[in-house]
Structure 1
Amino acid sequence: MTNILSRLAARPWPTLLVLAAALTLSACDPNRVYEENTDLKSPTGDAYVWDVQQRPVFTFAIADTVARYDVYFNVRNASGYGFYNLYLKHTLTGPDGRVVGQPLLHQMVLLDPKTGEPLGAGAGDIFDHQFLALRKVHFARPGNYKLTMEQYMRQNQLPGIMSVGVRVVKEGGK
């Protein structure tokens, strides 16, 4: 036993890699169908600015048309973001190219309106949020769906919004 421990102490990297791989695999969500985030930049290349002209598109495949799905919006912001909320509109397009349902406007609260304290999971001055945007969605046809996001604030450029994304899970998962 002492021999094994001394070998592990002498070369910890293989052990750490195996441990990291095991933790990563155990964290996989079997209900997750799709998740992707897009970093934002202004047209002039300024990082962490969401310009009104930038409309990220997220394409995900649906195979199971019997299941219901929850769709989450991911938002990462810096503490210097100038508003307590973020309005965004989404449009969902089906495999046939037609819009599914009505484009919806969402309000996401990023900071406490009274105290100004950031909400969400934070590290330093960066905060991550996940908002349930569409609950129990039934996708009638199998194929690729496209979800387009656009910021719907009264300001053309939103400094401090670092990235946005979409997560699709079968109902009951997160």
Structure 2
Amino acid sequence: KRLAFLRHRLGEPWPDVTDDALLARADEWLEPELSRARRRADLGRIDAGQALTRLLPWASGEAARLDELAPERILVPSGSRIRIDYDDPEQPVLAVKLQEMFGLQRSPEIAGVPLLVHLLSPAGRPAAVTADLASFWKDGYTGVRAELRGRYPKHPWPKDPATAEPTRYTKARLGR
């Protein structure tokens, strides 16, 4: 999915990883594993992600930039490393608890694309979705705060989240 995102966003030299393209080039990226497979269980042990690295543009040096341009995880202000969802190659999604994003002025970007941030309640349920975090802090946060503050009183709900300390903990644990 990360390769599909880079192909969609940046084009060449990133390989086409659609089903048809992979099938057409199976001998390039999957052949060593297929040659060694003797039974069905051997096929189940193939690491497709590792095999796909054979399609990367090693000669241009771009292959080394895969993790930089399309990381699996991103560091958020609280210090957590949150997985990025690349299901939609147009705009990857970062689902993170709202309090962990306090203090961040702009939505995180990868390869020049702002992530679609799914801000979650302390219970992990969606509270808001935005690609413009600054606008959310200014306009949308007040309503979300009013709705969730009573439901989750153990968690911090500052009036100005753009300058608040990010956290993954409750107020009691922060006080220790």
Query: TM-score if structure 1 supplies the norm length?
Result: 0.25
Using the size of structure 2 for normalisation, the TM-score is 0.25
- Between Structure 1 and Structure 2, the one with more strand by share is 1
Structure possessing the higher relative contact order (Cα contacts under 8 Å, 6 or more residues apart):
1
